[in-house]
Each structure stands twice: as C-alpha cells, then as structure tokens.
Amino acid sequence: MASDRSNEADYVRPVRRLVIGVLALVLLALFLIWRIDSPRIERFRTAIIDAVVPNMDWAMAPVTQVARMVEDFRSYARIYEQNQELRRELQQMRAWREAALQLEQRNAQLLDMAQVRLDPQLTHVTGVVMADAGGPFRQSVLLNVGARDGIVDGWAVMDGLGLAGRIAGVGERSSRVILLTDSNSRVPVSVQPGGQTALLSGDNSPAPVLEFVESPEALRPGDRVVSASDGGVFPPGLLVGEVALGADGRLRVRLAADYGRLDFLRVLRSRPAEVIEQSGSLLRPVDEAGRPLDPATGLLAPPAEPDLAPDAVGEPAAPVAGGAQDG
Amino acid sequence: MAEIGRFETLGPMALWLLIAAVSIVVRLLPLGNEPGWPMPDVLLALTLAWVLRRQSHLPAALIALVFLIEDLFLMRPPGLWALMVLLGSEFLRRRESVVRELNLLFEWAMVAGVMLAMVLGNRVLRALVVTPNDPLLPALAGLLLTILTYPVVVLVLQGVLRIRKPATGEVDARGRRL
C-alpha cells in the first residue's frame, strides 16, 4: 500500500482516534468543571503549586541573583543621572533640615515661655520581635519582654517612628502585641491640624480605617494622625501616620510604623493618668499644724462649726501665709 | 533491538520534557517582566515543529499532560489551552506526510493557521462559558510573536537538536519506514 506511511497494524488508527477523543473530552470536562465549581479546582491548583514551587528554591535562587545583578548593572549605567538626582535631593533636604532646626529652636523657646511641663514618665522598654504570630486574620507579633520586665496589658508599642500597636496578653517572659491593623484593634486618634478625634479601627488591611470622624470633609490626605488620650488607652501625641483616601473611598491611615520590618519594638511605660475626682472646696486659713482657723478672729476655729460665721465683723483676718485646701 | 528503539524515542522525549519544564519555570520566576508585554510561546512553536518532524517522540497524552500542567501553573483555566494544543497537534500529526513534502515557507503558513485557529477556539470557548477573556490585542501580539519565532525554533530544532524530517526511505532501528 503506497499510502500506508507506517507499518501500523490495522487496529492502531481507530484505537488511537478513540484515545485522542477521550483525552480531549477529559480536558474539556476539566475546563467545564473548573467553570462550574471553581474553588475546588483552584484548591487543587494551589495544592500542586504549593507542593512544587517551594522545592524550586534551588532553581529560583541563582536566577533571582543573576536578575538582581543585571538590575545592579543597569543602575551602574545610570550612575551619572542618579548622582545628579541625589545631589538635587540633598539640596532640598538641606533646606528642610535648616527649616527643621529653626522650628525646633522656636518650639523650645515657646515651650519655655509657656512653661509647658512634658510628661517625664514616658520611658520605654525595647523588645525584640520573636515571632510573627499572625495569620491572615490575626495581626499580632510576639515580643521577648514580659511581666518580668514590668510590661502591663494595654501599654502602647511603637517602632522607631510611629505607633505600632498595644500589648494584649503578657506572659512571664513574652508578650503579645496586637497591631493596629488587626481587625480587633480600636484606638482613639486625633487628626492633627484640626484636632478632630476619630477611632482608628483595623480591618486586616495594611491601612486601618478612620471611623467616627465628625466632619470627614475637613480631613485631607496627608494630614498627620497622632494618638489621643481619650479613654485613657494611650498617652496622647504619639505619631500614628497620615490620612490617606482608600481605594474604596473610605478615609484610611497610612501608618508611620514600618510593618514590613518589625524587628525591635519599644513598649512605652505609661502610668494611668491621675484622675481628679473631687471638685474644689472652700479655701480658709490654717495654722502651722494645718488646723483651720477662724477667719474672723484668727483663732483656732471650733471643730464643730467649720463654716464661716455669716455675722462675723471686726478686724480683717491677719494675712495668712497661704491658703490650703480644707479637709 | 527493541531496547534501542525505545531509547531512541525516550531520549528526545526526555529532552522535550526538560525544555518544557525549563520554559514553565522561567515563566514562573520573579524576573519582574512587565505584565503588559506579550511573550512568544516558544514551547508551543517547539511542540508543533517537533510533531511535524518526529511525531513518535511526542505522544498525544504527554502533550496534553504537559500543557495541562502549564495551564495550572500559569493560572489559566485548566484544561482549555491543553485541549487546544492537543487538537492542533493532532491536526498537524495527521498531515505529517503532507508537510513532509512542503518547504519551510508553506509549513510555516500552515502552522500559523493552526495557531490562529487554536487561539480563536480558546477565545470562543471562553466566551461560550462566559469566562473573562484575556485582552484581545496582547493575545494577538503574542500569537504574532509566536508565529514569528517559529522559523527560528525550526532552525534550532534541526541544527542544534538534530530533529529533522525523515529522509525518503529512512528507517528506524527496527527497520520500519518512518
């Protein structure tokens, strides 16, 4: 047979055709099943990729290294441009530094003039992040300082720059920090130029949402957000981040803390703010021992009658050294 | 004799599998290529050229399996592109004896037609089951690039890998005509 290209047996061609048909049907069925029940097939796909891709580190490592070297080499080629660019930036930075120095001096002068007393009790303990105990739904890290170091639940935790979270759970030698991005995190903040207070509530996304803002139209992206002392959770005035408008149109906060590199965290020792519970009471003269004097006579007042006599007249009371609170 | 025959098929088959694996891994690597840039599908061009030269090296099941794995890894709808490649390669496999007498130019045109049909079939099937399609222009640009790389792939295949069309009267190890 001239047309018989190969010396296949007669049964080979139909069987072959059948096999191809079955293969095609299987593939088509797989595609249709994927279309109907996508999550199951996607799980299957993820399982396969999970099984294979981590084993390919040995293949990835040299290639990524080479790619990085190529990238570096390219940046060599642009070295002149980069130099120019850096010079320009340096120039601008100098100007900013000058401005910052002047502002710092001015701030110091003003604080001095106003005799502002900064809270001296804001000291900190620095801990090392041991583990990232978070998953997709829990954003928390473990610190290597605990009750042994005097850590107390609820203290604020910062990285070098901004607020990172608060202590939630203290062990003897470790403590858990719940980050601002966790969906359980609610922190009172105030937005700086206007001083509006709001609630910063995490939603497991990198940028937490600003909630309960009184007039959102007054906020602008880029405004500074600092912590507020409402509710006594945090010491006021810690930098949190800046306002940003999320893709979903909600006001969010771009955090100042670098969540990609949480290595060292400092826990701020905050004492509970002293609460002034009593209203002011009447001022009256006392003697050296602190016993109340009768203002009319300048003599020791009878203890049974602490109130001023309404009909007391005569020489005014001798000037006393200082009023003291009664009782 | 039978062992030699098997080895003569298994060697190139393993070579093709290796090339396919490398091609998939390279596309998985985080090399930071722009997502908008279409790339030529070298593996497809190589497979079609190979089937037109020594079809016994590439069984249909193996082609389907490899392209199914490619589908899974490259986040495409699983099975669809593999189906298209299977049908396209089978179409060419049937016409191997026709292509054997054609020169490269006609072979090129034929393969280009098959590739175009595969891409169109892919898009039509996706549209039929209402799955989001890839953007049209990059897909066509990728197809064009693949078609343009086809002669290069053929040259490499014949020159470097020594996979050629069987000469007239050439026989395999068992003395059967190719």
Contact A242, A280 (CB under 8 A): no
CATH number of A123-269: 2.40.10.340
Rounded CA separation A16/A10 (Å): 11
Can you give the pLDDT at residue A132?
A: 66
Q: How far is CA A209 from the centre of its chain?
A: 12
Rounded CA separation A164/A142 (Å): 13
Rg (Cα) of chain B, in Å, rounded?
Answer: 17
Percentage, residues of chain A above pLDDT 90: 11
Q: List, as ranges, residues 21-40 from A with C-beta within 8 Å of B.
A: 23-24, 26-32, 34-35
- What residues contact B155, with CB distance under 8 A and at least 6 apart? none
Can you give the pLDDT at residue A325?
A: 44
Q: What is the DSSP letter of B34?
A: -
Chain B positions touching A19 (Cβ under 8 A) are 60-61
- What residues contact A8, with CB distance under 8 A and at least 6 apart? none
Rounded CA separation A74/A266 (Å): 39
Chain A positions touching B83 (Cβ under 8 A) are 24, 27-28, 31
Rounded CA separation B39/B144 (Å): 10
Of A242, A221, A228, A222, the residue nearest A196 (C-alpha): A228
- For β-strands A209-211 and A239-245, DSSP reports them as unpaired
Three-state SS annotation for chain A: CCCCCCCCCCCHHHHHHHHHHHHHHHHHHHHHHHHHCHHHHHHHHHHHHHHHHHHHHHHHHHHHHHHHHHHHHHHHHCHHHHHHHHHHHHHHHHHHHHHHHHHHHHHHHHHHHHCCCCCCCCEEEEEEEEECCCCCCCCEEEECCCHHHCCCCCCEEECCCCEEEEEEEECCCCEEEEECCCCCCEEEEEECCCCEEEEEECCCCCCCEEECCCCHHHCCCCCEEEECCHHHCCCCCCEEEEEEECCCCCEEEEECCCHHHCCEEEEEECCCCCCCCCCCCCEECECCCCCEECCCCCCECCCCCCCCCCCCCCCCCCCCCCCEECC
- The number of beta carbons lying within 10 Å of the beta carbon of residue A64 is 15
Rounded CA separation B67/B41 (Å): 12
With a cut of 50, which residues of chain A have pLDDT below it?
1-5, 309, 312-327
Minimum Cα–Cα distance from B63: chain A residue: A23
Contact B78 A31 (CB under 8 A): yes
pLDDT digits over A284-310, tens only? 777 777 777 777 777 776 655 555 545
Minimum Cα–Cα distance from A45: chain B residue: B72
Of B51, B77, B83, the residue nearest B65 (C-alpha): B83
Can you give the pLDDT at residue A315?
A: 47
Q: List, as ranges, residues 53-112 from A with C-beta within 8 Å of B.
A: 53, 56, 59-60, 63-64, 67
Which tokens is A49 given? Answer: 């990729």
Rounded CA separation A132/A130 (Å): 7
Contact B72 A59 (CB under 8 A): no
Can you give the pLDDT at residue B122?
A: 92
To which residue do tokens 């089951």 refer? Answer: B129
Rounded CA separation A136/B75 (Å): 22
- List the domain boundaries for chain A: 22-77, 123-269
CB-hemisphere CA count at 13 Å for A142?
Answer: 11
pLDDT digits over A60-84, tens only? 677 777 877 887 887 777 888 888 9
To which residue do tokens 């396209």 refer? Answer: B88
Contact A236, A118 (CB under 8 A): no
Chain A positions touching B68 (Cβ under 8 A) are 27, 30
In chain B, which ranges are continuous DSSP H helix? 2-28, 42-53, 60-73, 80-94, 96-100, 104-128, 136-159
Can you give the pLDDT at residue A237?
A: 83
Structural domains of chain B sorted by starting position, each given as residue range(s) with its CATH number in brackets:
2-159 (1.10.1760)
Q: How far is CA B83 from the centre of its chain?
A: 12
Rounded CA separation B43/B16 (Å): 9
Give me the average pLDDT of each 10-residue run along chain B (178 residues): 58 89 78 60 91 85 92 85 93 84 87 94 90 79 91 89 72 62
- The number of beta carbons lying within 10 Å of the beta carbon of residue A32 is 15
**Phi-psi category of residue A314: left, alpha or beta, with phi > 0 → left and psi -120 to 50 → alpha:** left
Can you give the pLDDT at residue B119?
A: 92
To which residue do tokens 């298209």 refer? Answer: B84
Question: What's this model's pTM, rounded to 2 decimal places?
Answer: 0.50
* B129-134, Cβ contacts within 8 angstroms, sequence gap of 24 or more: B129/A31, B129/A32, B129/A35, B131/A35, B131/B77
Can you give the pLDDT at residue B120?
A: 93
Rounded CA separation A127/A268 (Å): 11
Q: Closest CB to A7: pick one of B79, B86, B176.
A: B176
Chain A positions touching B177 (Cβ under 8 A) are 5-7
Complex ipTM over 0.90: no
Minimal CA separation from A44 to chain B, in Å:
9
Contact B61 A23 (CB under 8 A): yes
Minimum Cα–Cα distance from B30: chain A residue: A64
With the CA atoms of A198, A200, A201 and A207 taken in that order, what torsion angle do they form, in degrees rounded to the nearest 10? 130
